[in-house]
Each structure stands twice: as structure tokens, then as C-alpha cells.
């Protein structure tokens, strides 16, 4: 057992983490800006001063390449040979694995340098998508060695999804096989535009040039039907090392590039740093201790660079502001955040920005819409069906969607295509049209992968993924009644607020009573309104149950809460527009959504939290009522403060 454990440890070390003797893994281009944060004495410098640091990141190129192909066509062997011949793996490590194979009575394979999982070594297959690093004089490479077995098709898709180019292997002896076609089709689906077709194992056919050219003609025609034109065709023998890194006399007829030369000729896509700013909003933080009342928008910068002073917009809402500061806990505040970094953003304006919105620069907006057309790969146990409702995630946006149509499906195994389908079965590639419950923001073709790729959920199971083909507003004939609400502009009251204040003797105001069920909000609301009316205040009670009782019940919790907050806001608007003081009770949206009301209703507001104990304090509560309370007594204590809120003429006397 000891030799087996040592073999696994040695292979794992080679695959996952180079030793001190080996060249280190290429540095991530996404970390430099964070490391180059200014010291405290330079925090007031011009944000544009970080441009030098940002540009320095891109000096050393990084290219991610996936290797795919049919089972046993030599993917892992080729990658292992490439790493050995470029001396990415030190000779001592290679010799250690050779010695272990000899002690176990196995023939040494270059694939053993990559296949770190015990199941892979025992069965001689690749199960997971292994990541390997090597370098040439031109650039750094990450090679993703994806599995070829149909049982592990999902692993192959996940391995290829983040790469910019592909090495597709064919066995010169076996020729074109089932997975050769399947992987070519999948690479087309995933949008991999650069491909090097490597015809391996030429040693098994005595390096026959005619056989090589026949495979080019046959497989080239298939790839053309998939919309792929290979960048290079390269003949190699991975086991012997012919034409991988070094040329060989056995391929004297070959005048094209070696595999390493072909890789170096590939064009690197524009880096994420050079792309437009894309930061999906993950959450909004607000702390009210020690005088800190900043609203902090947090998220990960997927592409581009965000700097203090930048004017930014949010899609699909269209709200805009300017970046006031970037915050970092327990460290000097940075002046920039680049692709790959988490950012905590403070804006100059107090905006209500929910999770799922996308931050971008002015003039660099993504697409927005509610009718999504995409190409997906479905792995669900149950078929995806037209008319079915599924969950969709794109960036941080999570919502529901309805499958409107399936224009075509292609079986990944047989490559047979069916048009105007009613369902998408497991392991099928399909073009689908989805109607979303609300608009989202996304990108199409090129740019940031995270903002153009999405996943589909059936219940809680993630069973499909794909990329965006188009995103459009809903056409009028395909919209539901609720979708037309956004077409109507709010009509303001014809009487000015000052005139209402003159008539009532006070201005408009809103008191929100929030808390868990059973805390006495309704009783307190009734007592407070009664006492206010007796004092001459034009007050009205609005119980949220009266407003939200008929709310739709076929949406997700997050979507429902947002819709409820909007519905409550619409109901409050005419009452407040008429200069009334409204006391609203709610446990349907709670204080977490009070910020929405604060932004959309421009009147003085007071939030009151009813909680069972003194420590159960929530964000943004102006007043807390804890424990069992007498509603009449509590109402008397609140009345003077509420009257002062709306400048009631007798409030000052009562307060004294």
C-alpha cells in the first residue's frame, strides 16, 4: 500500500502544485491591482494613477486551452509530454514516477503525471478536468485536460467552459470516433473559436502522410458543418515526443509548425482588464454604529476596472451615480478594483440597488431585456419541456423563467437534429427561448464570459447551462397584463404639497411599524392613528394585509418580496401625495426593504421595530419597542415624535 500512496501523492503534487525546483504557476493577472493599493499617505492621489499598475498586469500573456477527444486518443499523454519537454516538470519528479511504476509492475505513461485521482490511475481514464501549467518564451498556459468518456460529459463541458482555445485529438490509427464528433459540436456550442486539431499516434501508422491528409479532409468537413475552421492541423506522436516541442526526422515531410509553435500562434482574447466594466451586485451593506451610515454595494468585478470618481450606471434599472469611495476592512481604502477582485462601493447618492443589478460605466451598457434566446446543454434527469417553469441564474441575478419554445435540439451522442421540439432530453444541445419574470442585464458574444453564460435549475437541481444568443424586451403580443405596468408613468397630484400642508396644518409623512407576527403591530397602529386624529392630524392606517393579500403566489420568495415592496409603494404614493400621515404596518417586507420606500417616497419617514427582546435590533430602525407593551401607552410616547416629523403646529408645545 505504501507505493500506491506515494504514487498518488507524487502525481497530486505534480498536477496541483509545482515544487520549488519547478517553475511556479503563472501569476493570476487579477491580483496585481489589489497588491498595488496605495499607502495611507497617497490615498488622495488621482485615481487614474493606477493605470500604470493595471497595464503592467497584461505584459505576460496567459492563455487557457482545453484538450478534448475520444477515449484513449492520448490527451493526458500529450499534455504530460508537453510539460516534460518544456521542463515544466523537473526531471527528478518524472524519474520518481518512473520508479514507482517500475515497483508496481506498470509501464510508465506520461498520463500518470496528470491523472492524480486513484480511480484514474487504476482504470487508465481521466475523470475530472485537470488543470496543468506550463510556459513558453511567449506566454503562460493553463491546459485543462478534460475527460473523454461519455459518462463524464458534464466534466468535459465544465472544463471547456472557461477556455479560449482547444486542442482536439484524433488517433491516427483509429480515426474519427463518436466523441471526436461530439466534442467538436460541444466546442462550437461553448463558443471556442480557436482550435488546433492534433492527429496523434502517427507512430502506429509509420508516420503515413496520406493517412494524415485523409483525416484532415474527412474531419475538416465535419467541423465546417459545425461552424469551426481549425487554426492548425498538427501531426504528432505524444509517446515518442515527435513534433510536440521538437521536430523529428520521422516527420520529414511535415513543413508546418510543431505543437508548441501552433499554440504560440494562437491569438489571446482581449483580457478581462481591457473589457468594459461589469460588476454584478451581490448585496448591499449598511451599518449604523459609530456614526457610519454609508450604503455599501458589494460584488465581484468580472471585467474592466472600477475607480473612485467613475460615473456608473446600473442595469436593468437605469439608475446612475458616481463612485465616492471603495472600502476595504482593516486596510487602507483602494482607489481602484480590477477584474477578479471583490469591491465594496460607496456611491455619492443613496440608491436602492437590489441583488442582480449590474454595475457598468456610462456608455458601456450591457443588453437588457426579458425575452432570452440561448443555446443550452441539458443534463437533467427530467426533460426540459415547453411551458415549464425553471430557475435561471446569470451573474448574481436569480429569477424564474418559462420555456416559450425550443426551435431545435441536437443529440450530443448521435448528433441528430430535431426542429420545433417540445422538450429537451438529457445530453441534448438545444436552442431555447425563455420568458423571464423580470428584465435582466447580460452580454452577447465576446466580452466577459460571466455575463453571457447562464445556468438553469429544475427545482433545486442545476441541470443545464448555456450561453446567450439574444436578449430583447417582451413584444406586446407576448406580454402578460402585469408586464404592461412598466409602460405607465406615474401621474402626480395636481395640488402641490405646500397647499396640502396649508390645508392640513402639517406635511405628509410615513410611519412604518415592522416586526415579526404577533408583536402587536396592528394594535399599536390603531391606537397611534386614533390619538393622532384626536390631536388634529390627518392620519390614516394602512395595514399591509389589505394591500398585499391578493399578491401573486407563483413567484420565488425574492421576486415576491420585491413585488410586494413595489405594490405597497404604489398604494402609499397617492395617500402621501394628498398630504396625509400614513401609519403602515407590515411583516411582509420588513425593515430590510424599508430602504426601497425611503428612495421611492420622498416624504419624512419613521421606522418603528417591535421585537421580543432588546438585542433583536435590525438595520435602519429609528425606534425600537421591545417586550410586551401597552399599545395605548406606546402610542402616547410616539405621538409627539410623529407630530414633530410632519411639522404639526402643536407638536412643539406637546413635546415640551
pLDDT 10s digits, 76-109: 788 888 888 887 777 777 788 788 878 877 777 7
* Three-class secondary structure of residue 47 per DSSP: helix
**pLDDT tens, residue by residue, 524-544:** 989 999 999 999 999 999 887
Among residues of the chain, what percentage have pLDDT more than 90?
A: 29
What cell was used for 267? Answer: 491569438
Q: Check whether 272 has a pLDDT greater than 50.
A: yes
Alpha carbon 347 to chain centroid, angstroms: 22
- Mean pLDDT is highest, among 11-25, 111-125, 412-426, 431-445, for 431-445
pLDDT, residue 321, reads 92
Whole-number pLDDT of residue 388: 93
Given 76, 188, 588, 611, which residue is catalytic? Answer: 588
pLDDT band at residue 256 using 50, 70 and 90 as cut-offs: very high
- What is the per-residue pLDDT for 514? 81
At 40, is the pLDDT very low, low, confident or very high (cuts 50, 70, 90)?
A: very low
Strands (E), 443-546: 453-458, 461-472, 509-515, 539-543
588 classed as catalytic: yes
Tell me how far apart the alpha carbons of residues 456 and 463 are, in angstroms, rounded to a whole number: 6
Mean pLDDT of 164-190: 83
Q: Which CATH architecture has domain 368-477?
A: Beta Barrel (2.40)
Question: Considering only 29-38, 253-262, 334-343, which range has the smallest mean pLDDT?
Answer: 29-38
The β-bridge partners of 401 are 390, 436
Instruction: Give the CATH fold of the 497-655 domain.
Output: Rossmann fold (3.40.50)
State the pLDDT confidence band at 119, using cuts at 50, 70 and 90: very low
Supply the pLDDT for residue 4: 34
- Looking at every residue in the chain, the average pLDDT score rounds to 76
Domain spans of the chain, in order of start = 2-27+54-264, 273-361, 368-477, 497-655
Residue 61 has pLDDT above 90, yes or no: no
Highest mean pLDDT among 185-199, 275-289, 421-435: 421-435
Rounded Cα distance between 187 and 166, Å, is 8
Per-residue pLDDT at 316: 92
Average pLDDT over residues 371-383: 90
Please give the CATH number for the structural domain made up of 273-361: 2.40.30.10
The angle at the Cα of 14, spanning 13 to 18, to the nearest 5 degrees, equals: 85
The torsion defined by the Cα of 166, 171, 177 and 183, in degrees rounded to 10, comes to -10
22 or 309, higher pLDDT: 309
Average of pLDDT values for 616-637?
73
Say yes or no: do domains 2-27+54-264 and 497-655 share a fold. yes
**Residue 420 CB coordination number (10 Å):** 10
Rounded average pLDDT over 454-477:
84
2-27+54-264 maps to which CATH number? 3.40.50.300
- List Cβ neighbours of 44 (8 Å cut-off, separation of 6 or more): none
pLDDT of 146 strictly over 90 = no
Q: What is the DSSP letter of 294?
A: -
Worst-scoring range by mean pLDDT, 112-126, 454-468, 591-605, 638-652? 112-126
Which residues, including other chains, have CB under 8 Å from residue 82's CB and lie 6 or more apart? Answer: 134, 143, 244, 245, 259, 260
Amino acid at each position: 500500500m505504501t507505493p500506491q500512496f506515494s504514487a498518488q501523492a507524487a502525481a497530486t503534487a505534480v498536477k496541483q502544485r509545482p515544487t520549488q525546483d519547478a517553475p511556479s504557476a503563472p501569476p493570476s493577472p487579477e491580483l496585481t491591482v489589489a497588491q498595488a493599493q496605495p499607502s495611507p499617505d497617497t490615498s488622495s492621489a488621482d485615481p487614474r494613477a493606477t493605470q500604470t499598475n493595471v497595464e503592467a498586469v497584461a505584459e505576460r500573456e496567459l492563455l487557457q486551452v482545453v484538450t478534448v477527444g475520444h477515449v484513449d486518443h492520448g490527451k493526458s499523454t500529450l499534455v504530460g509530454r508537453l510539460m516534460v519537454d518544456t521542463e515544466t516538470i523537473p526531471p527528478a519528479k518524472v524519474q520518481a514516477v518512473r520508479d514507482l511504476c517500475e515497483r508496481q509492475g506498470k509501464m510508465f505513461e506520461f498520463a500518470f503525471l496528470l491523472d492524480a485521482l486513484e480511480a484514474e490511475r487504476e482504470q487508465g481514464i481521466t475523470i475530472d478536468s485537470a488543470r496543468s501549467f506550463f510556459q513558453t518564451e511567449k506566454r503562460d498556459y493553463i491546459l485543462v485536460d478534460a475527460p473523454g468518456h461519455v459518462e463524464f460529459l458534464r466534466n468535459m463541458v465544465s472544463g471547456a467552459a472557461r477556455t479560449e482555445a482547444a486542442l482536439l485529438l484524433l488517433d491516427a490509427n483509429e480515426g474519427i470516433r463518436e466523441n471526436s464528433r461530439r466534442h467538436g459540436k460541444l466546442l462550437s456550442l461553448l463558443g471556442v473559436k480557436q482550435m488546433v486539431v492534433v492527429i496523434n499516434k502517427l507512430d502506429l501508422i509509420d508516420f503515413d502522410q496520406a493517412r494524415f491528409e485523409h483525416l484532415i479532409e474527412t474531419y475538416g468537413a465535419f467541423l465546417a458543418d459545425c461552424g469551426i475552421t481549425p487554426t492548425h492541423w498538427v501531426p504528432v506522436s505524444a509517446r515518442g515526443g515527435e513534433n510536440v516541442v521538437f521536430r523529428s526526422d520521422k516527420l520529414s515531410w511535415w513543413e508546418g509548425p510543431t505543437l508548441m509553435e501552433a499554440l504560440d500562434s494562437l491569438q489571446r482574447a482581449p483580457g478581462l482588464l481591457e473589457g468594459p466594466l461589469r460588476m454584478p451586485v451581490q448585496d448591499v451593506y449598511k451599518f449604523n454604529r459609530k456614526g457610519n451610515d454609508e450604503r455599501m454595494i458589494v460584488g465581484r468585478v468580472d471585467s474592466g476596472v472600477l475607480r473612485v470618481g467613475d460615473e456608473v450606471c446600473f442595469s436593468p434599472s437605469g439608475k446612475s451615480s458616481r463612485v465616492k469611495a471603495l472600502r476595504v476592512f482593516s486596510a487602507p481604502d483602494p482607489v481602484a478594483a480590477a477584474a477578479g477582485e471583490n469591491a465594496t462601493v460607496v456611491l455619492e447618492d443613496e440608491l436602492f440597488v437590489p441583488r442582480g443589478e449590474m454595475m457598468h460605466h456610462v456608455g458601456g451598457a450591457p443588453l437588457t431585456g426579458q425575452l432570452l434566446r440561448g443555446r443550452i446543454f441539458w443534463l437533467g434527469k427530467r426533460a426540459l419541456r415547453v411551458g415549464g417553469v425553471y430557475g435561471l441564474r446569470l451573474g448574481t441575478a436569480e429569477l424564474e423563467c418559462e420555456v416559450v419554445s425550443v426551435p431545435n435540439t441536437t443529440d450530443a451522442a448521435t448528433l441528430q437534429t430535431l426542429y420545433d421540439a417540445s422538450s429537451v432530453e438529457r445530453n441534448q444541445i438545444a436552442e431555447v427561448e425563455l420568458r423571464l419574470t423580470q428584465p435582466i442585464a447580460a452580454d452577447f458574444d465576446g466580452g466577459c464570459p460571466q455575463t453571457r453564460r447562464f445556468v438553469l435549475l429544475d427545482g433545486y437541481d442545476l441541470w443545464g447551462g448555456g450561453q446567450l444568443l439574444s436578449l430583447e424586451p417582451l413584444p406586446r403580443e407576448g406580454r402578460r397584463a402585469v408586464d404592461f405596468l412598466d409602460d405607465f408613468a406615474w401621474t402626480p397630484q395636481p395640488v402641490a404639497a405646500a397647499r396640502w400642508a396649508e390645508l392640513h396644518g402639517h406635511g405628509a409623512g410615513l410611519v412604518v411599524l415592522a416586526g415579526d407576527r404577533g408583536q402587536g403591530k396592528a394594535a399599536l397602529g390603531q391606537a397611534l392613528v386614533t390619538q393622532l386624529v384626536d390631536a388634529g392630524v390627518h392620519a390614516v392606517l394602512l395595514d399591509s394585509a389589505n394591500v398585499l393579500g391578493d399578491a401573486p403566489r407563483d413567484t420565488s420568495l425574492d421576486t415576491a418580496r420585491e413585488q410586494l415592496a413595489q405594490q405597497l409603494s404604489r398604494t402609499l404614493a397617492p395617500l402621501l401625495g394628498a398630504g396625509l400621515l400614513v401609519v403602515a404596518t407590515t411583516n411582509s417586507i420588513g425593515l430590510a426593504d424599508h430602504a426601497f420606500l425611503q428612495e421611492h417616497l420622498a416624504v419624512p419617514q419613521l421606522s418603528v421595530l417591535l421585537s421580543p427582546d432588546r438585542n433583536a435590533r435590525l438595520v435602519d430602525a429609528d425606534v425600537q419597542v421591545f417586550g410586551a407593551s401597552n399599545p395605548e401607552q406606546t402610542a402616547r410616547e410616539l405621538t409627539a415624535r410623529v407630530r414633530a416629523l410632519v411639522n404639526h403646529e402643536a407638536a412643539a408645545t406637546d413635546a415640551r
